[in-house]
Amino acid sequence: MRRRTRTSRGWTGSTWRKWRPVATAGSRCRRSAPTICWHGCLRCERPFISSWASSSTIARTWMRSRRMRKEPPPKSSRAPASASRGVMPRTSRAAPSSSWSYERRTRLPGRGEARDCPPDSSAAPMNLQSLLEPRSVAVVGASAEPNKLSGMIVGFLAASGYAGRVYAVNPRYDRIGEVACYPSVAALPETVDLLVCAVPVAVAFEAIESAARRGVPFCLLMTGGFGEGRTGAEGEARRQRLLAICERTGMHVVGPNTVGMVNFRARLPLTFADWYARDTGKRGGVAIVTHSGSVGGLIFSALQRDGIGVDYWLGLGNEATLETADFIAHFNDDPTIHTVICYLEGVRSGRKFMQAADEARRRGKNIVALRAGGHPQSARSTRSHTGKIPAAFEVYAGVFRQLGVIDVASLAELSYAMVLLTSVGARLGPRVGIISASGGACSLLADHVVDAGLELPELPPALQEALDRAIPEYGSSLNPVDLSADVVSRAGILHGALAALREDDSIDVWLVFGRPIVDRYYRVLIDFAQTTGKTMIVCCGVPLEPAVHVKLREAGIAVLDDPQLCLRALGRIQRAAIESRMECSGTENHTPCRARIGMQADAVRPARTMVREFPASPPALRATPPRERRGKTRTFPSCQGGAGRDNVADGVVTLRRADYTPSPREPRWSEAEEELQRAGQRKPGSTRSVHAAIEDDRDFGPVLALSSGVVGRRVVRALPASTDDLRDAAQELAAIDSRLCGSLERIVGSLHDWIESNPPGTEACVDLALTP
């Protein structure tokens, strides 16, 4: 007789020797176990049951899955006979309900923090006026000793000329200089706008809770020990306590573990960083938002060196409540801020960041992002520093490209990008022209232009003829333009070349390379740039004389040293500008709405495409024992009527998990393709393949990941995605795998229907086999 027993997780019943618990919707998904999945489990939003479960358990779970998917219940409460044998019922894959949308997110336990629905785009951003321009500030832990961190804060405030009211909180003093000192926050004569907490963590909560009870709206928490470093469970408990105070009282916290913030316009230095003392006083509409005080300080120092003014510097630390997106949203409403520089070790709310960055793009503001944590080795450091474990490198790269964020790879690239933005700005473009007195330098710079993703067009024949009349015959009038070394002694060569270029519009940016030209003829270059309005960059490989550098910069000419860094920075700016132009052009193809995906279905005809997916339960997929299922990738010839080899249609389809790393011994795409070629059913080189997967990213929620069948790099875009987003993703993938260049429109046309019918969280993986 069959035995059944009750366990803590559910009913089990089997003729097997060992009793196995049934995983219910309240337990963690074990993907290596043989399971029958429907929508709702904690990891993939499907309730799941063991293939050895009793038929009554299968029926209950199956009924629950249908209720979660809002499908009408079956006529009978019993599951199909196939389900009781451990085989998925043969149900059709209908498209999701019309009420479901990529714009709304559901709670996904087991995948990190719960993700809420993205805020309404019409909602007003958080009011940070009292934080950035407070009328009164209290410094808890203020010290009269200038060598202490809290003493540096008081010293900077005293020397800055800040017009607001400043209070010190320290029971050891009656006064610190000209600042009145009070024994506690409760003893302050008024409820201040901003509390600065610079005391050890053991006594920090007393001041924070007292300020919260008094209704202080903002706290700048410099204290560390809230989950970062080696604080472990104790630090995490402190963080949770801090969040509970903020949720209960409405207080917002900048930090913890931050070096402070500076509002240079309001002369409000709430920091102990020594770089503040080197401020040149130059302001320029730039705000720096950083997760690291040291990296943020390096960015500030580099901008000051290049003559770029900074208005705000904000160190966010571990981002207890206020995050990068909040400050971007605030600066979107500030007409004096044109660029926000971000150093990121991750984002706290990816969808919130996307909304703020998208609004910044619509308002014509620049976001320049430098990020860390792209590799496992650096992710160890970010987790210790700010408690963040960022998503994969390609996810951030794809989302930033989609949002028009200027994504730089180093501090040097960031500095070069800012020089280009502040000196020539909107006059930049993708078509680059090179002028030099060295043929070797021309060849080297041409490689750098192409590597940066820019264009190096050949000059029009009429322009070449005009240049040939000024350049010696051993020079070159193509692009690059080689003036030859004779230009050093013959000024007429440069004068004649520039005169020929005055009326030409085939080039967006002219790059002049070489000190022999610049040192002798910088006044000629200044006159050419000012009279024609053309964009000019001077890049010599070595620093210029300070006086020459200043004169060129004042004339609106960008002056940089390293040509490779210069062109890489220009390429990153240009890629972001293309996305911004697509968004701001008002074309309906870029409307960020899920319904826009596939709007060109009539104009774009997809190739004959076979789609199979896992674990969305294809009818032919059977439940197998764990040892057979674990680590398996099943490769079938694609077919219309079944998986038999006699029904080969248009390609090879691979069923695999989206997060699975294949075994070295399992057949690759190329091996399966060779098998079809040997069978005479595919001509060599006639197949173009793209792997697509809808994944639930830790930081940004639902994303589309594309990769080539022979290249490991992925191209990622956040969902919802417009047709232009898909086309740009296909173009980026074609730049990686040139075999796809002739199939871009068919890739876009093949993707939109599949995206429409697959909600996030399914982690389905499909292969699109396209034939010419």
DSSP character at residue 589:
G
| pLDDT reported for residue 679 | 55
Q: Are residue 399 and residue 442 in the same domain, yes or no?
A: no
Q: What is the CATH number of the domain that holds 206?
A: 3.40.50.720
- The amino acid at residue 468 is D
Residue 467, domain member (yes or no): yes
* Mean pLDDT, range 280-306, rounded to an integer: 95
Whole-number pLDDT of residue 59 = 52
So what's the pLDDT on residue 677?
A: 52
Look at residue 684 in the predicted model and tell me its pLDDT.
Answer: 52
Query: Residue 170 and residue 173: Cα distance in Å, rounded?
Result: 6
Residue 291 has pLDDT above 90, yes or no: yes
Residue 541 pLDDT: 92
Tokens 């093949």 sit at which residue? 750
Is the pLDDT score of 577 beyond 50? yes
pLDDT tier, 308 (very low <50, low <70, confident <90, very high otherwise):
very high
Instruction: Report if residue 647 sits inside a domain.
Output: yes
Q: Please check whether residues 633 and 705 belong to one and the same domain.
A: yes
In a domain, 422, yes or no: no
553-575, pLDDT tens digit by residue? 999 999 999 999 999 999 999 99
Residues 129 and 251 in one domain: yes
Query: In angstroms, what CA-CA distances link 324 with 41, 120, 332, 355?
Result: 32, 18, 12, 12
264-268, 600-604, 675-679 — most confident range:
264-268
- Report percent pLDDT > 70 for the chain: 67
User: How sure is the predictor about 667, in pLDDT bands with cuts at 50, 70 and 90?
Assistant: very low
pLDDT at 658 over 90: no
Whether pLDDT at 642 is above 70: no
**412 burial class (0-12, 13-18, 19+ CB within 10 angstroms)?**
middle
Dist CA 549 CA 561 (whole Å): 11
**Which of the residue ranges 144-148, 328-332, 494-498, 678-682 would you say has the lowest mean pLDDT?**
678-682
Q: What span, in angstroms and rounded, lies between the C-alpha atoms of 454 and 569?
A: 11
Domain-located, residue 527:
yes
- State the burial class of residue 549 (Cβ atoms within 10 Å of its Cβ: 0-12, 13-18, 19+): middle
Note whether 626 and 536 are same-domain residues: no
Among 343, 374, 408, the domain-final residue is 408
Sign of CA dihedral 561, 565, 571, 574: negative
Q: Which of 429-443, 676-690, 699-713 has the highest mean pLDDT?
A: 429-443
The domain of 322 spans 273-408
| pLDDT one-digit tens code per residue, 685-738 | 445 667 788 888 888 988 998 887 655 688 999 988 888 898 999 889 888 877
CA-nearest of 694, 697, 686 to 752 is: 694
Q: Is 490 helix (H, G, I), strand (E, B) or coil?
A: coil
* pLDDT tens per residue across span 488-538: 999 999 999 999 999 999 999 999 999 999 999 999 999 999 999 999 999
Neighbours of 736 (CB within 10 A): 16
Residues 236 and 290 in one domain: no
Answer with the one of 57, 84, 111 that is the final residue of a domain: 84
Q: Are residues 565 and 657 in the same domain?
A: no
Task: Report the pLDDT value the prediction gives residue 764, as an integer from 0 to 100.
Answer: 45
Are residues 618 and 734 located together in one domain of the fold?
yes
pLDDT at 627 over 60: no
What is the predicted pLDDT for the residue at 711?
56
Cα angle 183-139-143, degrees, rounded to a multiple of 5? 75
Q: Which pLDDT belongs to residue 210?
A: 97
User: Domain check: are 577 and 623 in the same one?
Assistant: no
Q: How many angstroms separate the CA atoms of 715 and 265, rounded? A: 41
Q: Is the overall model pTM greater than 0.85, yes or no?
A: no
Least confident segment among 378-387, 496-505, 657-666: 657-666
Backbone angles phi, psi at 281, to 5 degrees: 85, 5
The residues with which 653 forms a beta bridge, in sequence order, are 636
The per-residue pLDDT of the chain, averaged, comes to: 75
Give the number of other CB atoms < 10 A from CB of residue 249. 17
Q: Of 257, 292, 321, which residue sits at a domain end?
A: 257
Identify which of 505, 527, 487, 507 has the alpha carbon closest to the alpha carbon of residue 434.
507
pLDDT attached to residue 254: 97
What's the pLDDT at 379?
Answer: 79
Q: 302, 411 in Cβ contact below 8 A? A: yes
- Is a pLDDT exceeding 90 seen at residue 298? yes
Specify the number of domains making up the chain: 5
Asked if residue 436 is part of any domain, the answer here is yes
Q: Is residue 499 part of a domain?
A: yes
Which comes out higher in pLDDT, residue 580 or 230? 230
Identify whether 591 is part of a domain.
Answer: no
Q: Do 761 and 616 reside in the same domain of the chain?
A: yes
431 and 518 in a single domain? The answer is: yes
Q: What's the pLDDT tens digit per position in 64-117?
A: 554 444 444 444 444 443 333 333 333 333 333 333 344 433 322 233 333 333
Q: Does residue 445 lie within any of the structural domains?
A: yes
Whether residue 197 sits in one domain with residue 321: no
Under a CB-based contact definition with an 8 Å cutoff, are residues 312 and 338 in contact?
Answer: no
- The pLDDT, as a whole number, for residue 723 is 87
pLDDT of residue 478: 92
What pLDDT is recorded for position 696? 84
Distance CA 100, CA 105 (A): 9
The CATH number of whichever domain residue 465 belongs to comes to 3.40.50.261
pLDDT, residue 125, reads: 75
Same-domain pairing of 287 and 350: yes
Can you give 593-616 as a three-state secondary structure string?
Answer: CHHHCCCCCCCCCCCCCCCCCCCC
Structure tokens at 523: 């006044």
- Cα(430)–Cα(447) distance, integer angstroms: 15
User: What is the per-residue pLDDT across 317-374, written as a single tens digit (0 to 9) for each?
Assistant: 999 999 999 999 999 999 999 999 999 999 999 999 999 999 999 999 999 999 998 7
Tokens at residue 332, please? Answer: 């979107």
Q: What share of the chain is helix, strand, coil (3-state, %, to 5)?
A: 35, 20, 45
